[in-house]
Amino acid sequence: MMMTTNIFSAILLLCCCANHVQAWSTAPTSFTPSTLHHRRSSIVVPSATLLANIGRSWGTTTALFLADTTAAASTNADEECTDSDASKPRKPKSGDIVTFTLQRFQSTDPNSIVEPHFDTSGTLQLRLNHGNYLPGLHNLLSTMTPGETITGSTIDAGYGSYNTQLVFQIDATQLQVDTSLVKVGTMLAMGNGMEVRVTKIEEDGEKLMWTLDGNHPLAGASYEVDVRLDAVEEAPSHWEYHVGDEKKSSSKYDVATFGLGCFWGGELAYQRLPGIVSTAVGYTQGEKVNPSYEEVCTGTTGHTEAIQVVYDPNVASYRSLLHLTFNRLGDDIYKQNQVGNDRGTQYRSGIYYHDEEQRQIAEELLESYASADREVSTEVKEAKVFYTAEEYHQQYLLKGGQSAKKGASESIRCYG
């Protein structure tokens, strides 16, 4: 269906995020330059830029690489194993650690898809329905039992189906923009927050009609996969600090929580580390129950932005996680309530240990950074309730087009 309207306002814009902002899916409903608070500049964006950085403009408004997550405290009580015989092969449930082998992962149309930013071959792991990889892959794995192989299964590439109702026309003469700068392929942002691509320009008397397409350029794309489910294992259950074996499950995996200022860049760094099974960003160490991002940003709730990781200690030791943490922080270890350009109590750095072993290792390593004239400001405290951040924050930089492949070494751009 082709819709015609002349009531929208449009602006050319460069895909630059302002300092630590809300997801683009929450863009303002009325348009003025000031209401687009999540943009820094206005400029033409050719479609080639978008295709080379898939998801940077669209990823936060789609289901890219994100399975079903919630904004509730990570007590994970509903994910504890209830099987009387844990060794009996079973289908995985939400929260389980799933080991699988991707034997084949390819686009159903080689001309319509680009290289994924996650690992697509070999033996891999994820925490079911807790982000990373595509929702379709999570869904497929949830139907399988260990040892089972499925071949030729088609999964959505994460951009949704093509919707003809998102194609419409506007009269460009009614827009307050320099129409001479707009070409076929230019990206525009509508006043209601919708991002569209110019697909046709034609004159109609005194009118200058633009045909705009609100679909993602890769809408309808899919992958064909061959996958074997190798193992289903219990996730750790000690999500807060515990003493000895208190609350500790039989899981061979462990959990760690760190505050590194803005959680986007830190999360991607952990995702790239071999042995990391899953990551989540959220808020911890505060008083308010289940705070929102906006509330945490006021600095009045007591929370700090944090990253919680599930890892295999046989592959990635807690010491290796700390070394990555300190490397990310650099001299910010010595700064109070500041990491990089982000300032405020919600950006303070911290190591939140889940048991005494983690505490001892953290204090030992941090001590090596202290000196007579430099006091370490990174706090070391017991892990408290971790409130998972809003869905759009999860794996934000992966969805924005940066590689989360194990061992990736490309520079991490913290704001898209």
Domain boundaries, the chain: 3-45+163-213, 77-157+223-399
Q: Which residue has the tokens 């999500």?
A: 239
Q: Is 55 in contact with 23 (CB distance < 8 Å)?
A: no
Residue 154: CB partners within 8 Å, gap ≥ 6? 108, 222, 223, 224, 225
Segment 238-261 mean pLDDT: 82
Percent of the chain with pLDDT strictly greater than 90: 63
User: Is residue 262 annotated as part of the catalytic site, yes or no?
Assistant: yes
Q: Token digits for 318?
A: 């807690």
CA 160 to chain centroid, in Å, comes to 18
The predicted-structure confidence for 29-88, as pLDDT tens digits, reads as follows: 222 222 222 222 332 333 333 333 333 334 333 333 333 333 334 434 344 445 455 567
- The Cα 252–Cα 47 span in angstroms is 46
Candidates 3.40.50.360, 3.30.1060.10, 1.10.3260.10, 3.40.630.30; CATH matching 77-157+223-399: 3.30.1060.10
Mean pLDDT of the chain, nearest integer: 81
Selecting among 15, 262, 297, 414, the annotated active-site residue is 262
Residue 247 has what pLDDT?
52
Q: Mean pLDDT over residues 379-407, rounded?
A: 94
**Among the listed residues 414, 76, 109, the one whose alpha carbon sits nearest the alpha carbon of residue 278:** 76
* DSSP H or E stretch at residue 197: strand 195-204
CA atoms of 192 and 43, how far apart (whole Å): 18
Q: What angle do CA 218, 135, 47 make, to 5 degrees?
A: 20
Q: Report CA-CA distances (Å) from 109 to 114, 157, 221, 282.
A: 10, 11, 7, 37
Q: Higher model confidence: residue 32 or residue 177?
A: 177
> Is 184 in contact with 199 (CB distance < 8 Å)?
yes
**Residue 125 has which token pair?**
């792991």
| Six token digits for residue 317 | 């030791």
The mean pLDDT value for 264-272 works out to 97
- pLDDT value, residue 249: 66
Local structure of residue 231 (DSSP, 8 states): E
DSSP per-residue string spanning 44-112: ---HHHHHHTTTTTTGGGS-TT-----SSBTT-GGGS---S-TTS-----TT-EEEEEEEEEEESSTTS
3-class DSSP state of 171: strand
Give the side-chain half-sphere CA count within 13 A for 131: 28
